[in-house]
Structure 1
């Protein structure tokens, strides 16, 4: 499907250009949100297993709207990740969420895999 094409290409971009380890990616897994089962497109974890980034993908002909963001934000209520990405393959939006201030900010580009998630004093974290 066109959405699957966007997902696969975006995952390759994250791996090759932004250094996200494929082993820390979960694709199309179910989560419980307000007692209902939902399926996210992509979830990336830190090396210690904490959710770091959630992404929602749409087909290129689907315009990214507030409804698209609302969908991924609903999924994130259960996960509380730091980064949210929405893409249709033509447009990409990334946000960083600050839970202490209950706010978010748009990022100028897709963030790289955080250095703090790569290594710790005891090896990988």
Structure 2
């Protein structure tokens, strides 16, 4: 929208400015209204847990990329599934079978170290 101020006579202005008027001209269509999103605020403790979880997931992603030669063939490891298992022995055997059945070209020593590191990090969650 454009605002213009016109006077009856630009040369002669009255002290009370009685001849002033404002004209609004429409300039195209009105832009669509912005979408509003509601974002949740988390408490300090909850944000700390979220950051810790995110750090473990990012570490897991990076390590899986290192384990698999072409990264697009990486295995999807679900942390929640690992955490829901009862003991570390069950977790370890599940992860080992998951990684050994895939196209992982690393040695068993590298896989065992990855599993141990993952289990240590999972205990912090």
Q: The TM-score by the shorter chain falls in which range?
A: under 0.3
The normalised TM-score by structure 2 is 0.26
Higher strand share: 1
Normalised by the length of structure 1, the TM-score is 0.26
